[in-house]
Amino acid sequence: MGAGHFRFTVGSFDCLAVSDGALVGGPEEEAPAPVLFANAPSAELDAALRESGIATPWTQWTEEITCLLVDTGARRILVDAGAGALDPQTGRLIENLADAGIAPSDIDTVILSHGHPDHIGGLVDGDGSLIFPTAPVLLSKKEWRFWMEGEAERVLPAETGAFLLEFAVETLPIVQQCLELVDDEGEPFGGVHYLPAPGHTPGHLAVELLSRGERLLFIADLVLHPLHVAHPDWYSVVDADPVLVAQTRRALFAKAADEDCLVHAFHFPFPGLGRLHATSSGYSWAGVS
């Protein structure tokens, strides 16, 4: 494993988990727990934090940002583009790809899970130019409508939604010349399948890889912290539909456990890879490296 990339395989597919850096949240903004677990009962949350080794009061959270590169042999596909210049500690994707021998022009396709800043910020540089100029960018039609046709402004609370909306409205039109708006489910390339994972945003997508009997499920922001695995009803302040995100979690957790998928979670500790196992009370996460 290099400092910013981790190589692994899914059947015949060569894959890289590639870090774009991290966002660090602390008490000068808002404590992590109310952001990540907005509806969690305080006593249950404190117990869960202690059990997972997090001291309370919890004052700082490092939010890893890890994209996925898939080389099928015929195409190189990037799943999500990172945060770009969103923060001084982000925007490491291109240098970490370069360390792995990959240039932006080598990317054939970008699949976006959704339109939040830490997933689309790396599409455009500081001059407003496309970073992956030759790559079509796949985005859900529902996601485009959510950000660009007024739904986000109606649905999202002002205190969390204003920045998200501004970023999407500024960034997505720059990429529009490369955008391919897609339905909720499809298989653009053999063994690469995107599927609906709504709740965090209406058009949020997961990506499934299948090669030679091996599977990987990229779940993006379906979960933001490992405690969401054991407590799927605990939603974050940036989940647009908390009821739906819990339903989607349960459905995809069951799929991943039943099919013994390798799972990639965008914000989990680098490289964000692990497996979900059914327990008597739900599911548990076992990281792999």
pLDDT for residue 289: 79
The answer to whether 267 and 23 are in contact (CB under 8 A) is no
Residues 92-102 have pLDDT tens digits of: 999 999 999 99
Structural domains counted in the chain: 1
Q: Report the CATH number that the domain containing residue 188 is assigned in CATH.
A: 3.60.15.10
Residues 128-170 have pLDDT tens digits of: 999 999 999 999 999 999 999 999 999 898 888 999 999 999 9
Domain encompassing residue 30: 5-287
**126 phi and psi, to 5 degrees?**
-65, -20
Helix and strand totals (H; E) in the chain: 9, 14
What is the bridge-based pairing of β-strands 179-182 and 137-140? parallel
pLDDT for residue 28: 53
pLDDT for residue 282: 85
Cα angle for residues 115, 28, 55 (degrees, 5° grid): 95
Residues 230-271 have pLDDT tens digits of: 999 999 999 999 999 999 999 999 999 999 999 999 999 999
pTM: 0.96
Confidence of residue 1 (pLDDT cuts 50, 70, 90): low
